[in-house]
Amino acid sequence: MTIEIRSGYIPQSRRLIENPSAEELRDLTAAMPNARRTLFDNYNVHTRVDARSTKSTYIVTDHPERHTAQTVTPEEGRKWARIQDEYIKDREMVLVDGLIGNDPRFITPARLIVEARNANVAGMQRWLYYLDGNRQQPEITLIYTPNLAAPGYPNDRAIFVDLDAGITRVLNSDYFGESKKGGLRMWNKKVYDAGGLALHAGCKVVPVGDQQRVFLIVGLSGTGKTTTTFTTQNNSKPVQDDFVALMPGGRIYASENGCFAKTFSLDPKHEPTIYKAVTRPTAYLENVSQKEEGGPVDFYDTSYTQNGRAVFSLADLGWSEDARKIGPADVLLILNRNENIIPAVARLDSEHAAAYFMLGETQGTSAGGKDEMGKALRVPGTNPFFPLRHEQQGNRFLELHRSRPFEVYLMNTGRVGGGDGTPDSKKVEIEDSSAVVKAIAEGTIHWTHDPDFGYEVAQGLPGIDDVELLQPRRLYERTGRGDEYRALVARLKQERQAELAKYPGLDPEIAAAVK
């Protein structure tokens, strides 16, 4: 039993603005009291909610045992569907239709219905949808009321995900991420049911000689996924920013026609491509520091939030590659923003790859809200939006990797030797990570076995002269912290074994890789 069973369901409203143009959505956004025009002639909206609301998100189901995430009953889902529909009757709403994916073999018609007083959500989502001009009955629908409270739920906020109906209802959050991730969360299930796995990953192609090497970059929001995707090596081109479908044989399908990029510390020197797109008039900004109407923004000021965001079209980059034109996956990078003994890069075999993918280790960022920021996290697949049981991710990943054994690497985008301010600790700079990607693409890394973790670490690679970034053990030994290093090794092994033991359905070969 589900909230709704009708494909393409549209609740009755006082007025429905159906599929407005980009210009009309910009005008509606300009009329919002919390929107400011910037020096770039785009609009910056400051929202009440500034991050994802994980604790307020529930799967609607009769079978909670089929999901790792928290659930509610269908009766509870229907109750809130009625409340939301009644609320919408007196509201002006905006409807935007589009597609998730652009390959005719795997497209998902999608629909967003949101309050017109929050038109920026519709404007941002329109840039992420693929548009083909042919209106199709949606397979998935988001019904979004940012100004309707849900008393009794965390922060009076609730997101109800009905996978059977293909409908997600969002109550009392005006953060755009709930629209973007709401559609992709339901799309995750479709990809899994089709034999693939939705990866929370960027995608890029790196030319090497007369070949194009296809890279997937998996990482939790804010850990450098977008930066790694858009930083250039050998005139590389981005393909996707945030989600792809990985299918048997390594085939890749796209999901979005735009990017939802973090803007904290955005610098034209280090990230010129993203900066150029973010500062175009067509981009939408969210929660970026700005003092006055029509004035400049400050990408470094975090007094409101560090989770400033921007949405822009892939076309605004001026250069990108269409996923329909690329080959199967060659390389997968698992990003881990760490602060102790994870090297700048490590090479993983198949079982280690599935284990580190399943562990999803990283440091939480502002994208996950105050509950996650700065904390050590383990998020399977670095994908907090997978709506089924997490062990299904690990097992499917191993199956897909064996169907095409692409190279897999663990990459630290944080520090080694301790956090910022720790004596003798070292930051893995954007330029260091770029050198790693280039060396992986060109096959110029010399490897050696790591006796502690069983993976391979680099002896050296072009562009990084500091071997302590590549082999953190050396930093700890040089600074007289060898005992600390060994204690960290023992602790990590114990924690990792305990973490994977939480998933009884996980393939035992995956769990054995971290012993």
pLDDT digits (tens, 9 = 90+) for 269-304: 888 989 999 999 999 999 999 999 999 999 999 999
Q: For tokens 């250039």, what's the residue?
A: 232
pLDDT band at residue 2, thresholds of 50, 70 and 90? very low
From 276, 291, 317, the end of a domain falls on 317
* pLDDT(449) > 50: yes
231-268 per-position pLDDT tens digit: 999 999 999 999 999 999 999 999 999 999 999 999 99
124-183 per-position pLDDT tens digit: 999 999 998 777 899 999 999 999 999 999 999 999 999 999 999 999 999 999 999 999
Same domain? 252 vs 269: no
The pLDDT score that the predictor gives to residue 7 is 65
CATH code at 271? Answer: 2.170.8.10
Asked if residue 42 belongs to a domain, the reply is no
Query: In three state form, how does the secondary structure of 384-439 look?
Result: CCCCCCHHHHHHHHHHHHHHCCCEEEEEECCEECCCCCCCCCEECCHHHHHHHHHH
Distances (CA, A) of 355 to 41, 100, 362, 382: 46, 29, 14, 12
Residues 6 or more apart from 245 whose CB is under 8 A from it? 101, 106, 191, 194, 196, 197, 198, 199, 252, 253, 255
Question: In 3D, which of 381, 386, 32 has the Cα closest to residue 217?
Answer: 381
pLDDT band at residue 4, thresholds of 50, 70 and 90? very low
Same domain? 22 vs 122: yes
Q: How far is CA 90 from the centre of its chain?
A: 35
The pLDDT score that the predictor gives to residue 240 is 96
The pLDDT score that the predictor gives to residue 375 is 63
* pLDDT(223) > 90: no
389-418 per-position pLDDT tens digit: 999 999 999 999 999 999 999 999 999 999
Same domain? 262 vs 250: no
The pLDDT score that the predictor gives to residue 5 is 46
CA distance 298 to 318: 24
* pLDDT(373) > 70: no
* pLDDT(222) > 80: no
Q: For residues 356-380, b (16+ Cβ closer than 10 Å) or e, as one string?
A: bbbbbbbbbbbbbbeebbeeebebb
Asked if residue 189 belongs to a domain, the reply is no
pLDDT band at residue 319, thresholds of 50, 70 and 90? confident
Asked if residue 64 belongs to a domain, the reply is yes
Element (H, E) at 313: strand 309-313
Asked if residue 170 belongs to a domain, the reply is yes
The pLDDT score that the predictor gives to residue 377 is 83
Average pLDDT over the chain, rounded to an integer: 94
Question: In 3D, which of 112, 273, 230 has the Cα closest to residue 181?
Answer: 112
381 vs 133 pLDDT, higher one: 381
* pLDDT(6) > 60: no
Same domain? 377 vs 298: no
From 290, 317, 344, the end of a domain falls on 317
The pLDDT score that the predictor gives to residue 295 is 96
The pLDDT score that the predictor gives to residue 374 is 52
What's the whole-number mean pLDDT along residues 195-209? 97
Same domain? 442 vs 295: no
pLDDT band at residue 3, thresholds of 50, 70 and 90? very low
Asked if residue 4 belongs to a domain, the reply is no
42-64 per-position pLDDT tens digit: 999 999 999 999 999 999 999 99
Asked if residue 138 belongs to a domain, the reply is yes
Same domain? 483 vs 380: yes
* pLDDT(426) > 70: yes
322-338 per-position pLDDT tens digit: 999 999 999 999 999 99
Asked if residue 41 belongs to a domain, the reply is no
* pLDDT(38) > 60: yes
* pLDDT(371) > 90: no
Share of the chain above pLDDT 70, in %: 96
CA distance 254 to 244: 5
CATH code at 375? Answer: 3.90.228.20
Asked if residue 458 belongs to a domain, the reply is yes
CATH code at 25? Answer: 3.40.449.10
CA distance 200 to 183: 13
3-state secondary structure of 205: strand
Same domain? 149 vs 271: no
* pLDDT(437) > 90: yes
Sheet holding 158-162, edge to edge: 15-18, 92-103, 106-115, 140-145, 167-171, 158-162, 57-60, 71-72
Residues forming beta bridges with residue 286, ordered by sequence position: 45, 309
Q: How many domains does the chain have?
A: 3
From 302, 317, 332, the end of a domain falls on 317
231 token code pair: 């930083």
Same domain? 371 vs 313: no
What's the whole-number mean pLDDT along residues 64-78? 97
Same domain? 248 vs 385: yes
Parent domain of 442: 198-256+323-512
Same domain? 371 vs 381: yes
- Amino acid in position 31: A
Same domain? 140 vs 279: no
Distances (CA, A) of 300 to 58, 120, 262, 288, 303: 34, 23, 11, 9, 9
71 vs 222 pLDDT, higher one: 71
Same domain? 139 vs 266: no
The pLDDT score that the predictor gives to residue 270 is 86
